[in-house]
């Protein structure tokens, strides 16, 4: 049984706590948050000093559900104590922080919460690509159109700030979709971004909209991400193959071939928390602990996320939007 701690007891932490209590090989024994009431929300040992928790609780692993900029430091400190790390996305907001996370992974197991990699339709599409089911991949496009208001950003002092969140619509809302695109495309030869703040004005420093162009060889990939829409619409991801188009929207996969369209709805784990968080957290977290048990590489370790992180940081650097 793995003794697990949780740092950061805000919204997404409830998903991690729920999964940790469902798994047979994990026990949530401690949680930490700078706000005492939040630190106590899970009924385990509560701490306001996360370093003290790491020192005192004899943990096997710790989950990081904190503001983005804290992930590298906390991963480093956990690794120094021999404690495995499972971190929310993004694992880092700059190159130096990403190097810290990779250094931690050389000492202890480190996992990154890209839970959408575990969606059954994504696994099917990887099989189509690997086996050449519909011929060669010709192009990818994706749309992430969600809604985030000034009130959303005002509720947390770190959101909407370059030095704490690291960006806006791309690094927060659309990072999962970028990761999925790169999983199919590979690390791109060309990566360009245009970023704007359309609807939030001075309420945030970061972008609310990003238009992304990627190319690998002769395969283009386009991503439009904005939190200026009227609702949190289902993400659309489309793969264009020689012989078919696969369009993924929510839990529906449409196969378009020879002028005919066939829709396939998959069965997933129940969504824990908000619908746009997806349903892959249990599979993602369970796989992390299975990899620890077996000593096998974890699907979402830093090495597997290198292309995503390299591209993400390049896009922000290239865009000219970030100071």
Does residue 157 share a domain with residue 85? no
Residues 289-298 pLDDT 10s:
999 999 999 9
- Asked if residue 96 has pLDDT above 60, the reply is yes
Does residue 141 share a domain with residue 69? no
> What angle, 0 to 180 degrees and rounded to 10, lies between the N-to-C axes of helices 13-22 and 281-294?
50
Q: Which domain holds residue 42?
A: 2-112
Does residue 160 share a domain with residue 56? no
- Asked if residue 274 has pLDDT above 60, the reply is no
Residue tagged 């804290």 (tokens): 70
Residues 110-141 pLDDT 10s:
999 999 999 999 999 999 999 999 999 999 99
Does residue 175 share a domain with residue 70? no
Inter-residue contact 75 to 8 (CB < 8 Å): no
SS3 state at 74: helix
Does residue 170 share a domain with residue 67? no
The answer as to whether 276 is a domain residue is: no
The answer as to whether 283 is a domain residue is: no
Does residue 103 share a domain with residue 27? yes
Domain boundary among 112, 138, 167: 112
pLDDT score recorded for residue 277? 46
Domain boundary among 52, 79, 112: 112
Q: What is the dihedral sign for C-alpha 166, 167, 168, 173?
A: negative
Inter-residue contact 93 to 102 (CB < 8 Å): no
Q: What's the rounded mean pLDDT across residues 198-215?
A: 95
Domain boundary among 77, 112, 147: 112
Inter-residue contact 75 to 91 (CB < 8 Å): yes
CA distances from 165 to 201, 228, 242, 255, 321 (A): 17, 18, 39, 37, 15
Does residue 127 share a domain with residue 152? yes
Tell me how far apart the alpha carbons of residues 59 and 29 are, in angstroms, rounded to a whole number.
8
Tell me how far apart the alpha carbons of residues 98 and 82 are, in angstroms, rounded to a whole number.
19
Tell me how far apart the alpha carbons of residues 142 and 178 are, in angstroms, rounded to a whole number.
9
- Asked if residue 244 has pLDDT above 50, the reply is yes
The answer as to whether 282 is a domain residue is: no
């Amino acid at each position: 049984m793995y003794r697990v701690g949780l740092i950061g007891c805000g919204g997404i932490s409830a998903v991690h706590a729920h999964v940790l209590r469902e798994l047979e090989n994990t026990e949530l024994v401690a949680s930490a948050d700078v706000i005492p009431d939040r630190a106590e929300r899970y009924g385990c040992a509560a701490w306001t000093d996360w370093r003290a928790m790491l020192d005192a609780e004899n943990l096997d692993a710790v989950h990081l559900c904190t503001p983005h900029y804290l992930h590298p430091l906390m991963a480093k400190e956990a690794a120094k104590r021999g404690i495995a790390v499972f971190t929310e996305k993004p694992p880092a907001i700059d190159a130096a922080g990403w190097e810290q996370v990779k250094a931690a992974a050389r000492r202890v197991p480190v996992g990154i919460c890209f839970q959408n990699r575990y969606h059954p339709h994504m696994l099917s599409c990887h099989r189509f690509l690997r086996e050449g089911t519909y011929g060669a991949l010709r192009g990818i496009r994706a749309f992430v159109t969600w809604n985030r208001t000034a009130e959303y950003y005002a509720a947390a002092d770190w959101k909407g700030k370059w030095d704490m969140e690291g960006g806006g619509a791309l690094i927060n809302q659309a990072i999962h979709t970028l990761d999925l695109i790169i999983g199919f495309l590979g690390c791109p030869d060309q990566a360009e971004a245009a970023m704007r703040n359309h609807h939030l004005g001075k309420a945030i420093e970061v972008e609310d909209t990003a238009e992304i162009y990627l190319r690998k060889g002769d395969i283009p990939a386009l991503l439009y991400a904005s939190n200026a829409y009227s609702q949190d619409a289902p993400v659309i991801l489309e793969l264009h193959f020689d012989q078919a188009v696969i369009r993924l929207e929510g839990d529906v996969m449409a196969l378009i071939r020879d002028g005919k369209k066939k829709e396939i709805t998959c069965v997933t784990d129940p969504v824990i928390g908000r619908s746009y968080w997806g349903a892959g957290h249990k599979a993602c977290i369970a796989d992390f602990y299975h990899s620890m048990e077996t000593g096998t590489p974890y699907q979402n370790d830093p090495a597997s996320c290198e292309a995503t992180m390299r591209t993400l940081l390049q896009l922000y650097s290239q865009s000219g939007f970030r100071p």
